[in-house]
Amino acid sequence: MADLFGEPPDPPSPSAKRPNAGPRGAGAGEIEDKERRIAEAPRPLADRLRPKQLSAVVGQEHLTGEGGALTRMLANKSLGSLIFWGPPGTGKTTVARLLANEVDYAFEQISAIFSGVADLKKVFEAARFRRQNGRVTLLFVDEIHRFNRTQQDSFLPVMEDGTVVLVGATTENPSFELNAALLSRARVLTFESLPSDSLAKLLDRAEAEMGRALPLDAEARDVLLGLADGDGRAILTLAEEVWRSSGPGEILDAETLLSVVQRRAPIYDKGQDGHYNLISALHKSVRGSDVDAALYWLARMLDAGENPLYLGRRLVRMASEDIGLADPNALTIALAAKDAYDYLGSPEGELALAQATAYLAAAPKSNAVYVAYKAAMRAAKQHGSLLPPKHILNAPTNLMKDVGYGDGYLYDHDQPDGFSGQDYFPDAMGRQRFYEPTDRGIEKRIGERLAMLDRWRAERAKR
């Protein structure tokens, strides 16, 4: 039977028997041989290049550089509990290990994906034993947001009594994923995606480690940096793929590179922060009348696999909220784009979404109707169930006519200029002004019309 490494053990010989080996157990020599093979096995490039000191960490200078948050903590040789929040491949695990070394804490690492309550209890017991012997434990919890609320609460006592200094790592927004009690006992530090110059430094280190240059032309090298998407681990993994796939003396161009490494999917979780951050960027670009930026964020979301119909619905919302009556045609175009995508599907229908995005971004902007609607809603909740004035109530029965329903109503089409100037608000409420048109686009003409109606209303009231 094959062992865990997929290799069948050598058949035992009588002379190789040892007192402590059971009939089916491995002897000490076999165990030592396995350990030697593990130690000599080639390690991934990302692991071999893991920094040995904080000054070698790239891309997080706001934390590890001169005056950085972690640098200031280490100056006192003391750490409090921390939450590292940032995308994958930005150095969260590495920095946690280096912090433990800097302050001489025992380093313990677990992953919330593979650990449960029983595992936590064992870790806490070991940490208590160390503490009794004068050693502090830095407990690094990867993917800490995957622990449920009860599991997160289990950290509170050991954090409070100093049994562990917790360093949790998460790719999700801690405000949404972690207990308030846990957050109140830890400082959140944000790790940023690595910029291109930091990724380029990692490539330089990889070439020094491998003893040879990456077989890429200048354009392909730039493409490789883009494919990494700010992920240090990814850039080193991609570099390994390039070295494995290139032939002797071959220099890969951009097109060949893409065929070799295929394509790394953008970091984008349609249910979490990536989703909300990008739709916010699209909405604000449209509101800010930046056509090019709006098209970029639309493309980013489509490229990452966002549901195009969701984007179509959001464009409809933007047309009403941010353009409104400054250009009523914007809503028509947004609805048409949604329907066009629904009819055509991808990729043809995506062009209609791009057309609507460009139109909405270029259109004059007004949120006057949006503001007016919110004000009207507040008034509706504030004043309760007031009846309309009797003169605008229908009177289908004699009894209703007798109590004044419809009495005094003026049919506007029969009045001068098609306008009676009557009040349509509840009697107990009086006239209100919610809508204040801007002087942009068609809304300017609407404002002029409303000003004229106000004058007519004042004239009718004098009669």
Lookup: tokens for 227: 């494919």
CB 86 within 8 A of CB 171: yes
Distance (Å, rounded) from C-alpha 248 to C-alpha 341?
Answer: 48
257 with 216: CB under 8 angstroms?
A: yes
Q: Give the residue ranges of DSSP H helices in 185-262.
A: 196-210, 218-228, 232-245, 254-261
pTM: 0.61
The token pair at 221 is 């090298």
Contact assessment for residue 34 and residue 5, using Cβ atoms and an 8 Å cutoff: yes
Q: CA nearest 18: which of 10, 31, 27?
A: 27
- Please give the single-letter amino acid code of residue 378: R
The two tokens of residue 220 are 């392909």
H or E element at residue 356? helix 348-362
With contact defined as beta carbons under 8 Å apart, do 244 and 226 qualify? no
Query: Cβ distance 172 to 277 under 8 Å?
Result: no
Residue 21's pLDDT is what?
A: 45
Q: Does the CA dihedral 421-424-428-432 come out positive or negative?
A: negative
Among 184, 188, 120, CA closest to 151 = 120
For residue 328, is the peptide bond before it cis, meaning its omega torsion is within 30 degrees of 0?
no
60-190 belongs to CATH 3.40.50.300: yes
Q: How many residues are there in the chain?
A: 463
Dist CA 259 CA 13 (whole Å)? 51
Collect contacts of 93-97 with beta carbons under 8 A, ≥24 apart: 93/140, 93/142, 93/169, 94/50, 94/51, 94/57, 95/54, 95/57, 95/60, 95/63, 95/64, 95/70, 95/191, 96/138, 96/140, 96/167, 96/169, 97/140
Residues 323-345 have pLDDT tens digits of 999 999 999 999 999 999 999 99
Question: What kind and span of H or E run contains 107?
Answer: strand 106-111
Helices and strands per DSSP (H, E), number in the chain? 22, 5
For residue 403, what pLDDT is reported?
Answer: 80
352-376: b or e for each residue (b if 16 or more CB lie within 10 Å)?
A: bbeebbbbbbebbbbbbbeebbeee
Give residue 4's pLDDT: 34
Q: Which amino acid is at 137?
A: T
Q: Which helix (H) or strand (E) segment is 166 a member of?
A: strand 164-170
Q: Could you count the other beta carbons within 10 Å of the beta carbon of residue 12?
A: 16
The radius of gyration of the chain's CA atoms, rounded to the nearest angstrom, is: 34
Q: Is it true that domain 273-362 has CATH number 1.20.272.10?
A: yes
DSSP state of 321: I
Residue 31's pLDDT is 58
Side chain identity, residue 317: R
CA dist., res. 457 & res. 438, Å (int)? 21
Question: What is the pLDDT at residue 393?
Answer: 85
Tokens standing for residue 461: 């009231």
* Contacting residues for 199 by C-beta, under 8 A, at least 6 apart: 225, 228, 230, 232, 235
- 426 CB contacts (<8 Å, ≥6 apart)? 383, 386, 387, 388, 389
CA dist 253 and 220 (Å) reads 5
Kindly list the strands in the beta sheet with 164-170, ordered across the sheet, starting from the edge strand earlier in the chain: 106-111, 137-142, 164-170, 82-85, 187-190
Run means of pLDDT, 10 residues per run, the chain, 463 residues:
39 44 53 56 82 89 89 84 92 93 91 87 92 91 91 91 92 88 92 91 92 91 87 91 88 87 59 75 94 93 88 96 96 96 91 96 95 92 84 83 84 88 86 91 92 87 72
Q: Which of 43, 96, 45 is nearest to 233 (CA)?
A: 45
Listed residue (175, 176, 191, 188) closest to 81, CA to CA: 188
**Nearest CA-CA partner of 92 in 179, 180, 188:** 188
Q: Closest Cα to residue 241, out of 206, 200, 198? A: 206
Q: Tell me the CATH class for 384-462.
A: mainly alpha
